[in-house]
Structures are given as C-alpha cells and as structure tokens.
Copies of this chain bind each other. A is one copy, B any other.
Amino acid sequence: MTAAPISADPLDLPTVDDVRAAATRIREAAHRTPVLTSRLVDAEVGAQVFVKAENLQRSGSFKFRGAFNTLSRLSDAHRATGVIAFSSGNHAQAVALAASILHVPATIVMPTDAPASKMAATRGYGAEIVTYDRYTEDREAIATRLSHERGLTLVPPYDHPDVIAGQGTAVLELLEETGPLDALFVCLGGGGLLSGSLLSAQALAPDCAVYGVEPRAGDDGLQSLRAGRIVRIDPPRTLADGAATPYLGTRTFPIIRDRVTDIVTVSDDELVDAMRMFATRMKIITEPTGCLAFAGMRAGVAADPDRFAGARIGVIISGGNVDLDRFAALIG
C-alpha cells in the first residue's frame, strides 16, 4: 500500500450549509425516502432502529442526491455541452438520470463486461455509453481524455463538494424525521455519503456517534483513520462492489478523520444475512453494499451491547440495484 497525497484546500470542503442548500435544490427531483422500523429488528438489537431506505431513492441509490445537486449547479454553458462520469454502478445510473431530468447530455464510461441490466438502465435514462476493457484500459484516463476532447464536465463519484453536500441530505432528512439519535451507521466506500452524513449529524445531532462501515476485505478507510493519512489498498474482493473503492478522497478523508466516531468492518456473510433480514422483515430489496451499515450496526451492538442498550440508532441503506437472479441466488 502507498500513501496518496492530501491536497484539499480547506475552503473547498463543504459545510452543513451546503447540505441544506442541496436539500432545497434536490427537493422536487429526489424522493424523500421513507424511514422504516421493525419491532422484530428492535427486539433483536435491543435498541430502536430507524432505517433510511435509499434503495427506494430514484435510480435505486443515494447517489442520485449528489449527482442531481452537482448537475444543478453547473452553468448553462456546461449544461449545454454535457457531463461525463465513469462508473460500473450506481453513480452511472444516478448521473444518467439526473442529466436526463435536467436535459443535460451525459456520457458514461463503463467496462465492456458491466452487467447488462445496469447498461440497459443507464441507456434507458438516455445516456451515451462508452465502453472500455477493464483489464487493459484505465477508465479515469479515458474519461479525462473525453472530457478534454469534448469539453464535458467530469462528475466525480465522491470527491467533490457538491457531491458530498448532496449525499448529506439523506441524513438531514432522517434526523428531521427522527429527532436526535444516539448513533448512526453509514457505509463507507469513497466516503461521499459518510462525509456528507457527518456534516448533517454534527449540525442536527451533535451528540450522535457516527460510525463508518466498510467491507472487511476493503478496510482502507479504517487503515487511513488509524494512520492519519489516506491509505491506498489493492482493489478488494468483496460482495460490496459499491464500497470496493481502494482509497478515500482528498475532501472526504479530512471530514471523516476529524468527525467520525469509528470505522467498523463486516464480512460478506454478514451482508447476506442483512439482505435476508431486509427481505423477510421489511419486504425490501437491497444490494450487498446497501447492507453495510445495518451489518455494521449489528456487529457494533454485538461487540458492546451495554453501550447501545435502548439507544436510538439510525442506519442508511445505500442502494438496491442488484440483478434479480443474483439477489435470488444470494438470499436463497
């Protein structure tokens, strides 16, 4: 592993005011997703659990919040020329949908072997797809080149103030609905959702402990927090493909480092257990990455039951984009 430089200009870090502004901006376009509860879950955990269901968000994940906020802030000239993003997953669909709503042309760089359903969804939102070979080509380089050649604005998946501010609106809504919480669990990949959530939590529930949750196989966030610098790891093998990011962002890391209570990790088996629980108890479909926070909450409570006994705990489900046959195979 090698250290990546931290180069964030402090002035470039978003604040809760940016999150509030994002909430106003996305209000008409995004779903205010429901907060789900289950007596059976509460009984099992020994606490009161509030689940913010971003799998029911438009495009199937919280990523729509950040994408729509970012695209809303583009100048007319940049909107007219269009945007580009690289992603094989939820960010692609989110940018494609946000672009379609705002009448912005979108180009998405996806691997040739991306799931057919995700390609179809992205194309269904009207985006142009440029494919690349993930074994021989570098998607970031392709996107950057196309961005320069065509004058397209690159929409990064997490390391951008407008993206972070947009993602923070999910916890803003959650806390508006529940009031102050004792603890909050949020999944951690590149850190967009977690850093945005930390901004909202600090403003609306300053005493709330906030935990990031990573796949155990890809614990670069935990390593970075312990080392005090961004630690880069090899691309991890985990069911949580949406959190398989090998390093945090230069903007997300300082927010997380300064404000997160701790980072916990969970196994793939724990993610599948959580998927099954959501399907049977709450009747919702989640993707493995989407279950990180719930699985982390369970692990955290199991590790220190006294600390969480009777607590009011928030959990964010990040997304529900999973092929049905894969879903069936995982939970069957």
Binding site for B on A (CB under 8 A): 31, 33-34, 36-37, 39-40, 55-56, 58, 60, 117, 124, 276, 279-280, 282-286, 320, 324-325, 327-329, 331-332
Contacts and interface: CB of A to CB of B under 8 A. Distances in A.
16 contacts: A34-B34, A36-B56, A39-B58, A55-B283, A56-B282, A56-B284, A279-B285, A279-B327, A280-B324, A283-B320, A284-B284, A284-B285, A285-B285, A327-B328, A328-B328, A328-B331
Given A34-B34, A284-B284, A324 B331 contact: yes
Secondary structure dominating the interface of A? helix
Nearest to A290: B283
State the oligomeric state as a number of copies.
2
A212 to B, nearest CB: 23
**6 tightest CB-CB pairs across the interface, nearest first?**
A328-B328, A283-B320, A34-B34, A283-B285, A55-B283, A328-B332
Nearest to A100: B39
Contacts of A33: 34
A56 B324 contact: no
Contacts of A279: 285, 324, 327
Given A60-B283, A279-B327, 8 more contacts: A34-B56, A36-B56, A279-B324, A283-B284, A283-B285, A283-B320, A285-B285, A324-B332
Contacts of A285: 279, 283-285
Contacts of A280: 117, 324
Contacts of A327: 279, 328
A31 B37 contact: yes
Contacts of A286: 283
A33 B55 CA distance: 16
A326 to B, nearest CB: 10
A119 to B, nearest CB: 14
Choose among A31, A37, A276, A279 the residue with the greatest number of B CB atoms under 10 Å from its CB. Answer: A279
A313 to B, nearest CB: 18
A320 B124 CA distance: 28
Nearest to A60: B283
Nearest to A319: B283
